[in-house]
Amino acid sequence: EIVLTQSPGTLSLSPGERASLSCRASQSVSSRYLAWYQQKPGQAPRLLIYGASSRATGIPDRFSGSGSGTDFTLTISRLEPEDFAVYHCQHYGSSPLFGGGTKVEIK
């Protein structure tokens, strides 16, 4: 059974800084089936990245995804005030699963 581990649990940064979020799989997974979501308090998750590196419709280009095998990264090049949120990675295989999430908070 695959387990997705996200780190760090909380990332404290200032607006304008670069954020790098990690998602590590317990065994190699296809990058074709790796997604990232953003979730703000009281809201449903929003798809940011699918296929490890493809941005979903309407997602700003400051969001980028990379990685392969067991290690995947979501990078936010310059944090905007609206980017402070919780980010979830997902492997959407036959039984989809999610990582535990990373909270990006204002420092």
| Residue ranges that bind another protein, judged by CB under 8 A | 33, 35, 37, 44-47, 50-51, 56-57, 88, 90, 92-101
> Is the CB of 75 or the CB of 98 nearer to another protein?
98
Q: Which is nearer to another protein, 84 or 99 (CB)?
A: 99
Instruction: State the minimum distance, in angstroms, from the CB of residue 50 to another protein.
Output: 4
CB nearer another protein, residue 22 or residue 98: 98
Task: Pull the structure tokens for residue 102.
Answer: 């990373």
Q: How far is the CB of 61 from another protein (least distance, A)?
A: 18
The verdict on whether omega for the bond into residue 45 sits within 30 degrees of 0, i.e. cis, is no
* Cβ-based neighbour number of residue 1 at 10 Å: 6
What's the rounded Cα separation, in Å, for the pair 45 and 20?
19
- Residues sharing a CB contact under 8 Å with residue 94, sequence separation 6 or more, in sequence order: none
Q: By the 8 A CB rule, do 99 and 89 touch?
A: yes
Query: In angstroms, what is the minimal distance from the CB of 87 to another protein?
Result: 11
At residue 100, what are phi and psi to the nearest 5 degrees?
A: -80, -10
Q: Toward another protein, which CB reaches closer, 79 or 102?
A: 102
For the bound state, the minimum distance from the C-beta of residue 57 to another protein, rounded and expressed in Å, comes to: 8
